[in-house]
């Protein structure tokens, strides 16, 4: 039997182990590594069950405050984090750049230090500039979660994608068990990779879990130094779709595209969109994912997004469970897993 | 306690449960993660052998409900699985060791989120004393006086008393 003694905790003798370095913030998928990702996925399994209850709320973060600090627009990420925080019984605060003193000329640093002084425990930061959350993490005592920074990273999106994919693959497997890696799974990330922070985080996360990743897009929308990413690159979507298990479609980020990188939307859609016509030719098992917001008719056809092969709504649902896991992990003391059983029970 | 003692204690507890509740109607057996899960399973089997009825059972992880969550590492060990609404049922909570009572307090909170049980009863294999809350078990396998720094392990091999620091290294 395992050495998991229940009721064995001597009063006042629990060691408070220091947090592992870097675990106070979640700024990049690289902060987590493979083991960190798997830890989040396991925790998210628990919170998925909580979310499915009639009363989807646990008192785990009672008395903590989570602020969403968004300098850029968002629907799902902000709502998802707020829902996650509320389901953990944390209090939530909302900061939006448009209605703030930023418009009076207050600096970024003063803004976040003000929030910090109010005793916020975690800040979920979204900013149009890459690296802004890193910068803020150095200024405040709160935990900082990167909710998307420029074209850099969007780590919780990648985590929820891993969670969704892992669950969907488990349902198709004979054992039904959720695996701790994506070994042998081939994923095509399609479209505007260059402007996509989601793509960056997803490539890091998918590869950390040993999936095979291929990037598909026009040369103008692929990152200039894509060789460093260590993934395959192709410009032929049809050929790529024949040999992958998952088509991860990206939104064409028109707001970040200043110059003419594509001839026309129509042509982009025909060559790199998951059109109805293309969907008919897909092999039966191909799964379709999209981080949202979707621009139906451009990168993905409305019918395809609604079809049974689409994981889009499951991604959104997974987002809440995964963000609960992330907030829980950042805001409760970390411990050594090996002796945790002895420490938690009384 | 050796495995036979444990089995006999469980049989007795199963009889006590049926006697007290006039049968197995409305009973739900809920094992606390992780030590109570196996015991709950065995108890359900025994209840079926004695009474003939199949009693629904589930498992409960209370980590998210603990009052010491901000003081020390608390990581859920498994997914809670309560297969039915507990409203109107008689819940028998099962754990291996009753110590400070904080796990049970958390469990009572957690159960509340799965419906309003008509009654909650507590069955433990070992009551080792040192309660910090006003909680008492309804069914006890064995009362085991201990020092607070001793270690009590309940497993297939029976109940073992050890030294905390020595065993954890």
Across residues A219-237, what is the average pLDDT? 90
The pLDDT confidence band at residue A60, using thresholds 50, 70 and 90, is very high
Distances A325 to A28, A38, A48, A332 between C-alpha atoms, Å:
16, 11, 9, 11
User: Which residues fall within 8 angstroms of residue B166, CB to CB, at 6 or more apart?
Assistant: none
SS3 content of chain A, % helix, strand, coil (to 5): 45, 15, 40
Cα angle for residues A268, A270, A276 (degrees, 5° grid):
130
Q: CA angle A2-A60-A149, nearest 5°?
A: 105
Does B166 lie at the interface with A, CB-CB under 8 angstroms? Answer: no
CA distances from B105 to B122, B135, B141 (A): 11, 8, 20
In the block, residue with structure tokens 């028109």 = A254
- Mean pLDDT, range B15-21, rounded to an integer: 96
> Is the model's pLDDT at A14 over the cut of 50?
no
3-state SS string for chain B? CCHHHHHHHHHHHHHHHHHHCCCCCCEEEEEECCHHHHHHHHHHHHHHHHHCCCCCEEEECCHHHCCCCCCCCCCCCCCCECCCCCCCCEEEEEEEEECCCHHHHHHHHHHHCCCCCCEEEEEEEEECCCCCCCCCCCEEEEECCCCCCEEEEEECCEEEEEEHHHHHC
Phi-psi sector, A23: left (phi>0), alpha (psi -120 to 50), beta: alpha
Q: What percent of chain B has pLDDT over 90?
A: 69
Instruction: Give bridge partners of residue A214 from the DSSP assignment.
Output: A188, A232
**Is B81 in CB contact (< 8 Å) with chain A?**
yes
Instruction: State residue A7's pLDDT score.
Output: 37
B163 pairs with which residues across the strands? B150
Q: Over 60: is that where the pLDDT of A72 sits?
A: yes
- Chain position carrying tokens 């707020």: A82
Phi, psi torsion values for B100, nearest 5 degrees: -75, -25
Q: What is the mean pLDDT of chain B?
A: 89
Q: Give yes or no on whether A29-153+318-332 and A155-316 have one common fold.
A: yes
C-alpha–C-alpha distance, residues A292 and A77, integer Å: 10
The interface predicted TM-score (ipTM) is 0.81
Of A48, A60, A336, the CB nearest to B64: A60
Q: Which pLDDT score is estimated for A100?
A: 78
- What's residue A103's pLDDT? 74
| pLDDT averaged over every residue in chain A | 87
Q: Sorting pLDDT into bands at 50, 70 and 90, what band is A15?
A: very low
Domain A155-316, classified CATH 3.40.50.1370, yes or no: yes
Which among B75, B113, B167 is the nearest to A340, CB-wise?
Answer: B75
Interface of A with B (CB under 8 A): 1, 3-11, 13-14, 16-17, 43, 45-46, 48-50, 53-55, 57-60, 63, 88, 328, 332-337, 339-346
CA distance A6 to chain B (A): 6
CB A241 within 8 A of CB A282: yes
Q: How does residue B166 score in pLDDT terms, banded at 50, 70 and 90? A: very low
Cα–Cα dist A60/B64, whole Å? 5
Please report, for chain A, the start and end positions of each structural domain, with discontinuous segments joined by +. Answer: 29-153+318-332, 155-316
CB-based contact, B21 to chain A, within 8 Å:
no
Q: What percent of chain B has pLDDT over 70?
A: 94
pLDDT digits (tens, 9 = 90+) for B116-158: 999 999 999 999 999 999 999 999 999 999 888 888 888 888 8
**Distance (Å) from the alpha carbon of A232 to chain B's nearest alpha carbon:** 38
Domain spanning A29-153+318-332, CATH architecture: 3-Layer(aba) Sandwich (3.40)
d(CA A173, CA A167): 10
Domain boundaries, chain B: 3-168
* C-alpha pair distances (Å), B36 with each of A345, B50, B125, B126: 12, 21, 9, 11
With cut-offs at 50, 70 and 90, classify the pLDDT of residue B73.
low
Q: For the segment A111-165, what is each residue's pLDDT rounded down to a tens digit?
A: 999 999 999 999 999 999 999 999 999 999 999 999 999 999 999 999 999 999 9
Mean pLDDT of B20-49: 93
The candidate with the shortest Cα–Cα distance to A97, out of A128, A63, A133, is A128
DSSP string, A206-247: HHHTT-EEEEES-GGGS-TTGGGGT-EEES-HHHHHHT-SEE
Q: Do A11 and B148 touch (CB under 8 A)?
A: yes
pLDDT, residue A259, reads 67
What mean pLDDT do residues A238-258 have? 89
What pLDDT does residue A341 have? 36
Confidence check: pLDDT of A29 > 90 = yes
Confidence of residue A4 (pLDDT cuts 50, 70, 90): very low
Check CB contact under 8 Å for B167 and A335: no
The per-residue pLDDT for A281 is 92
Backbone φ and ψ for A305, nearest 5 degrees, come out as -65, -25
Domain B3-168 bears CATH identifier 3.40.50.2020: yes
């Amino acid at each position: 039997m395992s050495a998991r003694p229940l009721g064995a905790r001597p009063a006042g003798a629990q060691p408070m182990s220091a947090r592992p370095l870097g675990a106070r913030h979640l700024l990049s998928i690289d902060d987590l590594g493979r083991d960190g990702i798997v830890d989040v996925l396991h925790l998210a399994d628990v919170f998925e069950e909580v979310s499915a209850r009639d009363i989807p709320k646990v008192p785990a973060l009672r008395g903590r405050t989570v602020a969403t600090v968004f300098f850029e627009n968002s629907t799902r990420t902000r709502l998802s984090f707020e829902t996650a925080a509320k389901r953990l019984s944390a209090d939530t605060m909302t900061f939006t750049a448009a209605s703030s003193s930023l418009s009076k000329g207050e600096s970024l640093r003063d803004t976040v230090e003000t929030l910090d002084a109010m005793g916020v425990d975690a800040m979920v930061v979204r900013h149009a500039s890459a690296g802004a959350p890193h910068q803020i993490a150095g200024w405040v005592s709160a935990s900082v979660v990167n909710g998307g920074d420029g074209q850099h990273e969007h780590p919780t999106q990648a985590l929820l994608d891993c969670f969704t994919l892992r669950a969907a693959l488990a349902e198709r497997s004979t054992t039904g068990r959720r695996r701790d890696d994506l070994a042998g799974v081939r994923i095509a990330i399609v479209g505007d990779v260059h402007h996509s922070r989601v793509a960056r985080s997803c490539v890091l996360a998918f590869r950390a879990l040993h999936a095979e990743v291929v990037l598909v897009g026009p040369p103008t929308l692929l990152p200039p130094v894509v060789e460093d990413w260590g993934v395959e690159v192709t410009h032929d979507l049809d050929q790529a779709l024949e040999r992958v298990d998952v088509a991860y479609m990206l939104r064409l980020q028109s707001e970040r595209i200043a110059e003419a990188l594509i001839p026309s939307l129509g042509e982009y859609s025909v060559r790199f969109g998951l059109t109805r016509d293309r969907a008919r030719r897909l092999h039966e098992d191909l799964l379709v994912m999209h981080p949202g917001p979707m621009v139906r008719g451009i990168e993905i056809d409305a019918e395809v997004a609604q079809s049974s092969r689409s994981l889009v709504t499951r991604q959104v649902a997974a987002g809440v469970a995964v963000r609960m896991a992330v907030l829980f992990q950042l805001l409760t003391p970390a411990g050594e897993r090996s002796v945790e059983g002895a420490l938690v029970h009384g | 306690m050796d495995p036979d003692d444990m089995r006999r204690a469980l049989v007795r507890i199963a009889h006590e449960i049926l006697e007290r509740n006039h049968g197995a109607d409305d009973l739900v057996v809920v094992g606390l993660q992780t030590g109570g899960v196996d015991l709950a399973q065995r108890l359900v089997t025994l209840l079926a052998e004695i009474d003939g009825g199949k009693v629904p059972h589930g498992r409960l992880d209370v980590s998210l409900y603990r009052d010491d969550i901000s003081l020390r590492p608390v990581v859920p060990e498994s997914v809670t699985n309560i297969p039915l609404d507990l409203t109107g049922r008689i819940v028998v909570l099962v754990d291996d060791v009753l110590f400070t009572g904080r796990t049970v307090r958390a469990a009572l909170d957690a159960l509340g989120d799965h419906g309003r049980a008509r009654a909650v009863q507590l069955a433990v294999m070992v009551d080792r004393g040192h309660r910090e809350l006003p909680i008492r078990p309804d069914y006890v396998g064995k009362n085991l006086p201990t020092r607070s720094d001793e270690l009590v392990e309940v497993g297939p091999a029976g109940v073992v008393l050890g030294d905390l620091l020595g065993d954890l290294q």
